[in-house]
Amino acid sequence: MDKDIYVLAVESSCDETAAAVVKNGRDVLSNVIYSQIALHTEYGGVVPEIASRKHIEKINQVIEQALLEAHKDLRQMDAIAVTYGPGLVGALLVGVSEAKAISFATGIPLVGVHHIEGHISANYIENKDLEPPFICLVVSGGHSHLVVVKEYGEYEIIGRTRDDAAGEAFDKVARAIGLGYPGGPKIDKISRQGNPDAIHFPRAKVGDAEYDFSFSGLKSAVLNYLNSCQMKGEEIVTEDVAASFQRAVIDVLVEHSIRAVKKYGCRKFAIAGGVASNSALREAFERECEKEGIAFYHPSPIYCTDNAAMIGTAAYYEFLKGVRHGFDLNAVPNLKLGERVL
Ligand code: KG4
Ligand code: ZN
């Protein structure tokens, strides 16, 4: 490569205001994240209006910090990347408007990025040898997808959730057992003190689509278990409920993923999204992939949950393909993976 390519990336699709500078797609020079979690905790979940307002307050600061930490000037950037969907419309609009304004003022090209493409691309940051094709399980607060990554930017979704996303199930069960928001990390932590075989919760199968997921039945089973214990006056061991629920989610995710990798024959498997930072999930995949001779890739936890470095990485490969967006780029809250709105 003759010239280094620098991307300034912005992410504001949910409750993290983030900016990063990424060199040549895989070299993260800075990764600044302002997490709003503390603000939303008292409401038990993300409040969209609060998220948008906080993004407006923080976005300039976060971008300035990202450039400062990267020791780069805005004018040295080759592209301004921004998440334009899916996500909360008001939250997305803050990042999109900011990126368009910077692009308009400086003449630096604008590249809109799909949030899930960002999550998948987080795997490229620390795994310098990882190249498509591979299979990726994307498990976040809003999505559970099993994806064949055929080429950079080319995806085929072979499995998806029929109801709740995996992270959503973690958050709802955590609320039911009194752990609060966000539930995933809390269930992860207390499960280490619990017995995953203490309670048998169902592993849902979706009859007509072998790679699809369903987590709402599992969530209801946990709620029913809690109600029945309360009615019978039986003690609820929170750690055991958390560990048994987590085991049920992991069993289904592992089973579907390994079956897909075997069927598609690429022997490379990656995980992405907030739930991918779950320690028991990682251990289960490490074990199963080793047994099956499959190379297993995962990002560090900081690149699993929402961040802008992953958006910069995804944007780099789009930029190389010649993707540029105009100032009519808009937030698309329900953007589909593989769909490009130019
Ligand atoms: O990817 P992400 O930051 O945002 C979305 O794009 O949705 O994912 C957030 C989700 C939340 O549901 C959170 O509870 C879950 O990821 N999560 C976890 C863990 N860390 C975050 N779930 C299980 N175990 C964790 N350690
Ligand atoms: Zn996300």
Least confident of 10-14, 66-70, 85-89, 262-266: 262-266
Whose C-alpha lies nearest to ligand 1, atom 23?
A: 184
Q: Which ligand is nearest to the CA of 15?
A: 1
Per-residue model confidence (pLDDT) at position 264? 92
**pLDDT 10s digits, 309-325:** 999 999 999 999 999 99
pLDDT digits (tens, 9 = 90+) for 275-287: 999 999 999 999 9
List residues bridging with 28 in a β-sheet: 22
Which of 79, 31, 39, 72 lies closest to 55 in space, CA to CA? Answer: 39
- Cα 102 from Cα 88, distance rounded (Å): 22
| Cβ contact 60:99 at 8 Å | no
Q: Is the pLDDT of residue 1 over 70?
A: no
pLDDT in tens, 76-85: 999 999 999 9
For 38-76, give the DSSP string: HHHHTTTS--HHHHHHHHHHHHHHHHHHHHHHHT--GGG
Q: Which ligand is nearest to the CA of 273?
A: 1
Work out which ligand 1 atom sits closest to the CA atom of 174: 14
pLDDT of residue 44: 84
Determine the atom of ligand 1 nearest the C-alpha atom of 305: 3
Residue-level pLDDT at 266:
87
pLDDT in tens, 87-137: 999 999 999 999 999 999 999 999 999 999 999 999 999 999 999 999 999
Tell me what the pLDDT averaged over the chain comes to: 95
Tell me which residue has its CA closest to atom 11 in ligand 1: 141
- Residue 270 confidence (pLDDT) above 60: yes
Q: How far is the CA of 321 from the centre of ligand 1 (A)?
A: 31
Paired sense of beta strands 268-272 and 134-139, if any: parallel
Q: Whose CA is nearest to atom 16 of ligand 1?
A: 274
Closest CA relative to residue 307, chosen from 48, 108, 126, 171: 126
Mean pLDDT of 241-247: 98
Span from the CA of 27 to the centroid of ligand 2 (angstroms): 20
Q: What is the pTM of this model?
A: 0.96
pLDDT-based confidence at residue 208 (cuts at 50, 70, 90):
confident
pLDDT in the model for residue 173: 96
> Is the pLDDT at 341 greater than 80, yes or no?
no
Q: How far is the CA of 273 from the centre of ligand 1 (A)?
A: 7
Strand order in the sheet with 268-272: 154-160, 144-151, 134-139, 268-272, 295-297
Average pLDDT estimate for 1-25: 94
CA 96 from chain center: how many Å?
19
Q: What is the pLDDT of residue 255?
A: 96
What local confidence, expressed as pLDDT, does residue 342 receive?
A: 60
pLDDT at 334 exceeding the cut of 80: yes
Ligand having the closest approach to the CA of 277: 1
- The encoded tokens of residue 181 equal 């928001």
Predicted local distance difference test score (pLDDT) of residue 120: 98
Which protein residues touch ligand 1 with a CB less than 6 Å away? 14, 140-142, 167, 170-171, 182-185, 188, 273-275, 277-278, 305-306
pLDDT digits (tens, 9 = 90+) for 131-184: 999 999 999 998 899 999 999 999 999 999 999 999 999 999 999 999 988 899
How far does the centroid of ligand 1 lie from the alpha carbon of residue 305, in Å? 6
What's the pLDDT at 196?
A: 98
Choose which residue among 275, 285, 302 to substitute to test ligand 1 binding: the one with the highest number of ligand atoms within 8 A of its C-beta: 275
Q: What is the pLDDT of residue 17?
A: 97
